[in-house]
Amino acid sequence: MRLILLTASLLVSSFAHATAIKNIKVFYSNDIPVIQDLPLNGTQQLEVFNMDTKNNATAKLNMLMQQRHARKKKTDDYLISYSEAFDEVLNGPNWNGIYSDLELGSKAIEYAIRYQVKKTPAIVFNDSSVVYGVTSLKEAIRIYNNKGHTK
């Protein structure tokens, strides 16, 4: 009987307290940012993902394409017109920023799928516990420490 009580108390104590935070991934959108209102210790890794980054980059690329296409109306062949416009964008000063944002946006989507993030804002602790709907890192850490494991 003592062994059962001791085992049960150990199980309760291990679930009552969250494991130490090693890494945090923050998922947010343009409309609902998450603020880092708490300094992290030197051992915690923080990654931040704006889930709108890919859409923002796509919108910028589309705007640049439309502007350049409008200037290329010398021909009625849209394939040639858009090919020339894209060539200008690809070799222009804005391409590196657009490309970087497309990469970052793709990474954000991949990580959201990997960690099964269903909505934003979401803060993932230790690649396994998710706190939803909180826009303060300090508050999310408090919730994680109190609940231990939220998903």
How does pLDDT run across 86-107, given as a tens digit for each residue? 999 999 999 999 999 999 999 9
Whether 5 has a pLDDT exceeding 50, the answer reads no
* 28, containing H or E segment: strand 23-28
User: What value does the mean pLDDT take over residues 34-40?
Assistant: 89
Of residues 19, 28, 7, the one with CA closest to residue 129:
19
Q: Given this model, what pLDDT does residue 10 score?
A: 31
Whether 66 has a pLDDT exceeding 60, the answer reads yes
More confident residue, 33 or 42: 33
Q: Given this model, what pLDDT does residue 97 score?
A: 96
What confidence tier does 82 reach under pLDDT thresholds 50, 70, 90? confident
Q: Check: CB of residue 123 under 8 Å from CB of residue 131.
A: yes
* 138, containing H or E segment: helix 137-147
* Cα separation, 85 vs 79, whole angstroms: 10
Whether 6 has a pLDDT exceeding 60, the answer reads no
Whether 136 has a pLDDT exceeding 60, the answer reads yes
Q: What is the mean pLDDT of the chain?
A: 84
What's the angle, vertex CA 74, arms to CA 73 and CA 75, rounded to 5?
90
126 Cα distance to chain centroid: 15
Whether 40 has a pLDDT exceeding 50, the answer reads yes
User: What value does the mean pLDDT take over residues 134-149?
Assistant: 90
Long-range (24+ apart) CB contacts under 8 A made by 39-47 are 47/23, 47/111
